[in-house]
Amino acid sequence: MNKRHYIIPIFVSHRGCPHDCIFCNQKKITGQGGDVRGEDVKNKIEEYLQTIPKENVIVELAFYGGSFTAIPMDQQQELLEAVQPYIAQGAIQHIRISTRPDCIDTEVIELLKAYKVQIVELGVQSMDEEVLRISNRGHSDQDVRNSVALLKQYGFTVGVQVMVGLPGDSEQKSIATVKSLIELMPDIARIYPALVITNTYMEQLYYRDEYKPMSLDAAVEICKKLLILFEKNHIEVIRIGLQPTENILEGKEVVAGPFHSSMRQLVVSSIYRDMLEYMLKDEEEIKQLEILVNPRDISDLLGQKRNNIEAIKTHKKIETVTVIQSKDLAMQSIVLKYSEIVRNMSIKDFRNILEI
């Protein structure tokens, strides 16, 4: 039986970070402020463990936000120390941290190893020097190369976080960023479209008309290309788009930009739409089309408000499109039946023929 994965999130807000990236107001994004202490970590773990089943589970403690390894060593130690009894009891299996690429060195690595941290995610954002400079990131692309290499040498699972649509960025630069990262062979990735958040420098740029965020459609298009590139190279993309907090959902934090609470679904649906177009590209006269799909993929295939189906129907002038759910079909693949023709394709096959 597959084990269920649970995450205990601990938000380490702006604490320790000497930088001021133009898109960041860490306290606002995480929805929590203030300093986190060992005691808070312990309390949060106890609270979560009460709701997590004891059998067949993988429990991960994730220190999100901030720049974990930029915190003074004794404070990192205090936070990690608080998790150790739970690791020893087997109640928690993994610790994950996220940090800046220029805050990784052998001293930090030795500490993370000693406290059984397994996953380190790096806020890369871009590998383009100009985008990094305009965003006031304060690190270089070389810092990313060095930190990924060092973390891999010590056997960590390495994650990279990429942000698209920052000032000075372009689709070409985002693609180049991902191609450079693929060369470093990280294990996992996250893709975030840049958003204008309250109380950030980017908010000022936006109100002065000096920054124009991407539209949602443009963000979906670029995220789709990056997702395909990562997955084609066997790098799992574990998230696309910002995790919606209560404040974000209530519209209190995002001033402008391509926020959508189901960003990944929009992106995957868009891949299905392209795949349908590709599979039917040489067909001109289809009266009736049947599409078979695994029930777990049905929403991705249909798209929001069934717009994938409506789009293919209109574009190819098809009279009837029937979608049939088939548990026998592998996930992320579809079968098309029309005019006595049967064709199938998976997203994996499709992405392998795409040139990006």
Query: Can residue 17 be called a binding residue for ligand SF4 (CB under 6 A)?
Result: yes
Compare residues 19 and 44 and give the one whose CB is closer to ligand SF4: 19
Least CB distance to ligand SF4 at residue 25 (A): 8
Output the CA–CA distances (angstroms, integers) from residue 196 to 22, 77, 128, in the order listed: 9, 34, 20
Query: Can residue 97 be called a binding residue for ligand SF4 (CB under 6 A)?
Result: no
Query: Can residue 14 be called a binding residue for ligand SF4 (CB under 6 A)?
Result: yes
d(CA 48, CA 331): 32
Least CB distance to ligand SF4 at residue 215 (A): 23
Query: Can residue 258 be called a binding residue for ligand SF4 (CB under 6 A)?
Result: no
Compare residues 21 and 228 and give the one whose CB is closer to ligand SF4: 21
Q: What is the Rg, in whole angstroms, of the alpha carbon atoms belonging to the chain?
A: 22
Task: For residue 232, count CB atoms less than 10 angstroms from its CB and return exposed for 0-12, middle for 13-18, buried for 19 or more.
Answer: middle
Query: Can residue 101 be called a binding residue for ligand SF4 (CB under 6 A)?
Result: no
Residue 59 forms beta bridges with which residues?
6
CB 163 within 8 A of CB 223: no
Residue 196 forms beta bridges with which residues?
256
The piece of 15-23, 37-45, 196-204, 227-235 that touches ligand SF4 (CB under 6 A) is: 15-23
In this structure, the number of other CB atoms found within 10 A of the CB of residue 66 comes to: 25
The piece of 20-28, 245-253, 271-279, 295-303 that touches ligand SF4 (CB under 6 A) is: 20-28
Query: Can residue 126 be called a binding residue for ligand SF4 (CB under 6 A)?
Result: no
Compare residues 123 and 257 and give the one whose CB is closer to ligand SF4: 123
- The residue from 8, 10, 12, 26 that contacts ligand SF4 (CB under 6 A) is 26
Query: Can residue 15 be called a binding residue for ligand SF4 (CB under 6 A)?
Result: no
In this structure, the number of other CB atoms found within 10 A of the CB of residue 355 comes to: 3
Long-range contacts from 244-253, C-beta under 8 angstroms, 24+ separation? 245/29, 245/30, 245/31, 246/31, 247/28, 247/31, 248/31, 252/198, 253/28, 253/29, 253/197, 253/198
Query: Can residue 123 be called a binding residue for ligand SF4 (CB under 6 A)?
Result: yes
**Could you write out the DSSP letters of every residue in 75-120?**
HHHHHHHHHHHHHHHTS--EEEEEE-GGG--HHHHHHHHHTT--EE
Compare residues 200 and 294 and give the one whose CB is closer to ligand SF4: 200
Query: Can residue 159 be called a binding residue for ligand SF4 (CB under 6 A)?
Result: no
Query: Can residue 67 be called a binding residue for ligand SF4 (CB under 6 A)?
Result: yes
Q: Which two tokens stand for residue 234?
A: 């066997």
Query: Can residue 10 be called a binding residue for ligand SF4 (CB under 6 A)?
Result: no
Compare residues 67 and 269 and give the one whose CB is closer to ligand SF4: 67
Q: Which two tokens stand for residue 143?
A: 């810092």
Query: Can residue 197 be called a binding residue for ligand SF4 (CB under 6 A)?
Result: no
Query: Can residue 100 be called a binding residue for ligand SF4 (CB under 6 A)?
Result: yes
Least CB distance to ligand SF4 at residue 119 (A): 17
Query: Can residue 24 be called a binding residue for ligand SF4 (CB under 6 A)?
Result: yes
DSSP state of 210: S
Query: Can residue 66 be called a binding residue for ligand SF4 (CB under 6 A)?
Result: yes
d(CA 164, CA 191): 7
* Residues of the shown chain interacting with ligand SF4 in the complex, contacts defined by CB under 6 A: 14, 17, 19-21, 24, 26, 66-67, 100, 123
